[in-house]
Structure 1
Amino acid sequence: MSAQTLSEKMISKNHMGINIASVTVGVGILTFPRALAKATSGFDGLISVVISGLVALLIGWLLAKLAARFPRQTFFDYTAIIASKPVAYALTLLVCLYTMLFVSFEIRAIGNIAKQYLFYSTPVEMITLSFLLIVQYAVAGSRIAMLRLNLLFLPVVLVVIFFVLVFTTQLLEIENIRPYFSSSWKSLLEGSKAVGLSYSGFEIILFYTMLMRNPEEGPKAMLLGLFIPVSLYVTIYIFVIGVFSAEVAKNLTYPTIDLAKEVEIPGGFFERVESMFFTIWIMTIFNTCVMWLDITILNLTSMFRKVKKMVWILALSPIIYFVAMLPQNLVDFFAFADAITYFGMIIVYLCPICLLLIAIMRGVKGHE
């Protein structure tokens, strides 16, 4: 393989940052204003967004440092080097379980929201299955081509969000944002935890750093990747609270989509902007699902090298679909989401940070 061909199969620091932003800005951005409004009052939610963003950046930086110590090696490979193969098998299988559960959550979220805003008469089971089949098709192709879809889709999503915010500016009421600095530290930390759950996704740095041209630039990519969602969360929270007030936002299932419903284009030449907004948002959730399923396959093939990629896709898809259909209502669905996130905090945050500390103490380092 020529050096030029190898370079074409690598991704840059900025591309990795866009991938991180795309996977982070998923379903969570549609729901976080509700959880944040319940925990804090008015303006103070912005403090919680910043606190949780800084914590996410610190954890992400540590994860990037771990992956950068072992360039061109998979998560399983460098975990085996640091902590032995049995530990690597156990931890990597748990990571696969976590990523599969995340795919189940995302495809069910698509089913729920699409039925509510787009396909009123279509069973959620069929919407979810259709979306899963499309995700399967994307994962079956080239990994680099799949990652490069984010370069195409994320700018479109950001433009649509900007469009929605511009046309809701006239609906902002400063009184809705008040009071200022009235929440206790306990409330602010509770709000940070609530919005922090929506930052899940930046852990992809653990698995895709090996595809970077310069793996040592992983921490810088993390900075770019989290700057975008933190900025979006701050802006969207201000608009949701400013338009609806905190009391109303507490009772909205998807406040960000409801914000899009408030858009009125002069002349009335385009109605139901929330349908367009959600249709565009499907691209982001699609990329998120594809990356999580691809990471599942990547980890499984790194452990069981003789099993082909397509075999894993076909074997795992029925399990993912079955799990996605388990929640019977929205209460179960959001409880499922919280359980996945807390499980992920242990598996893809705490354990890798412990691996980094062990690697530093033992002086273990990979070679490119």
Structure 2
Amino acid sequence: MKQAIQERFLISPFLVFFVIHATQVGVGALNFQRPLMKEAGQDAWMAVLMAGLAAHVLIWLMYRLLSHLPSGGDLVSLHEQYFGRWIGGVLSLGLLFYYALAAFMVLQSYIEIIKVWVFPLMGAWQFSLMFLLLTYYAVSGGFRVVVGLCVWGVVTPLLTIFPMVFFPLEYAQYRNLLPVFDHSFGQLAKASKEMVLQYLGFEMLLMYYPFLKQAPSSQKWAHAANAFTMFIYFVLILISIVFYNKEQIQHITWPTLTLAKIPEVPFIERMEYIVISIYVLVVFPIIAVSIWAATRVIKQLFAVQQRRSLPVLLACLFVGTLFFQEKTDIEQLTEWTAKAGFYLVAVYVPLLYVYVWTAEKVKKTLQQKP
């Protein structure tokens, strides 16, 4: 049985709101509109809501799953408890690779944006080295430091970047929203699946759950965070629908970033530079939480301190940067991450919950027999 975590390392339940929202809204918020509108057109806003409601169900399922563990337990503990050391270890290794993949995908996607918009002549490895050094500094400070990053990663963009997306409403064509309910349920379901990547981030809960004070009481904050994420994406997709038409948006790589170019300030020529610079506060918490979760899995599996595994993991990501520099490579990486995340939260977690629930029922039945 895992030892309970000391109280000085725990965080208050309400901070789950910031951690989940910060890990959900990332680079994908800049370009999620294209695949959605390709599948569902002007009804894409329905796919945003459908995917968000599905995320609520999965969050509820995760809390139910983790409630079967004693204090100090996480998904690695659950794997070991119900599958044994070896099979459970293999399953936990898959979790480790997923967290590392998620961090790498976000890092590479943001570096691509910087190279295209701001510094086209600089190499990807230079940005990668800078970000990974900052990640080492943050993650080595512990989970509470990472949570502090998440708080800033929610508050600062909300007060600076989010108001900018409302300026294009001056040129809105509200007729673009019509006709409503013009697409079949199958088309909306396919669009909702495309939206899965944008809601991913709450699966980190599987590892930091034991770091929550009165963990079950944090569930309402987790749902509040997901609801707020739904609101952000809902606003962005509505503004995109009324500002762009279905054909036009397919030729714009980062629609949200283009929306942020609309505001005009006398002393700033390129407003998107400001947005991209501030956006580091959106991206950095996702990388930090993902890396922290990956090193936590390593600690639970191999009894290696996180400060020792951290530089090794970051070095692996840096080497990976040298091989994923083309746009097509990054798109492929994003597709891999989306598929892995979908199968983790929408397939594996529900199946694992059914297995654990069945195992507990069988165990109680056997205990009641004379």
TM-score for both structures, normalised by structure 1:
0.91
Cα distance change of structure 1 residues 257 and 149 upon mapping to structure 2, 3 Å threshold:
same
Q: Show the 5 A alignment for 1:68-79.
A: 68-70=67-69, 71-79=71-79
- Counterpart residue type for residue 308 of structure 1: Q
- Report 1:93-108 matches (<5 A): 93-108=93-108
What percentage of residue pairs aligned between the two structures are identical? Answer: 22
Comparing 26-35 with 9-18, which one deviates more in the overlay? 9-18
Compute the RMSD of aligned alpha carbons.
2.0
CA distance in 1, matches of 2:245, 2:226: 27
Contact 1:74/1:207, CA 8 A, preserved across alignment = yes
User: Does structure 1 residue 333 correspond to structure 2 residue 309?
Assistant: no
Deviation at 1:33, TM superposition (A): 0.6
Q: How far apart are residue 348 of structure 1 and its match?
A: 4.8
Q: Is residue 256 of structure 1 aligned with residue 253 of structure 2? A: no
Q: CA deviation at 1:66?
A: 1.3
- What is the identity, as a one-letter code, of the residue corresponding to 2:311? L
Over residues 83-104 of structure 1, what are the superposed CA-to-partner deviations in whole Å (9 max), with x where a residue is unaligned? 2221220011111111111111
Task: Indicate which of 274, 279, 282 corresponds to 1:281.
Answer: 279
Task: Give the Cα separation in 2 of the matches to 1:177 and 1:170.
Answer: 16
Partner of 2:53: 54
CA distance in 1, matches of 2:355, 2:145: 35
The worse-fitting range, judged by mean Cα deviation, of 152-161 and 176-185 is 176-185
CA distance in 1, matches of 2:344, 2:185: 28
Q: Distance in 2 between matches of 1:18 and 1:128?
A: 25
| CA distance, structure 1, for counterparts of residue 123 and residue 313 of structure 2 | 23
2:354 is matched with: 357
Counterparts of 1:300 and 1:340, CA distance in 2: 20
Alpha carbons of structure 1 residues 134 and 316: separation in structure 2 relative to 1, 3 Å: same
How many Å apart are 1:24 and its aligned residue? 0.4
- Corresponding residue number in structure 2 for 1:293: 291
Q: Which amino acid is 2:180 matched to?
A: Y
Deviates more, 1:88-97 or 1:175-184: 175-184
3-state SS, counterpart of residue 161 of structure 2: helix
For residues 319 and 149 of structure 1, the distance between their equivalents in structure 2, rounded to whole angstroms, comes to: 23
**CA offset at residue 317 of structure 1?**
1.7
Measure, in 2, the Cα distance between the counterparts of 1:10 and 1:209.
10
Change (3 A) 1:41 1:346: closer
Structure-1 separation of matches of 2:264 and 2:177: 22
Residue 318 in 1 paired to residue 325 in 2? Answer: no
Query: In the alignment, what sits opposite 1:345?
Result: 342
Matches of 2:172 and 2:34, distance apart in 1: 17
How far apart in 2 are the matches of 1:39 and 1:140?
43
For residue 251 of structure 1, report the CA deviation from its aligned partner. Answer: 1.5
Whether the aligned pair in 2 keeps the contact of 1:23 and 1:287 (CA below 8 Å) is yes
CA contact (8 A) 1:110 1:128 kept: no
User: How far is the alpha carbon of 1:354 from its aligned partner?
Assistant: 2.5
Q: Deviations over 1:224-276 (max 9, x none)?
A: 121111111110011122222222111211111111112224xx233322111
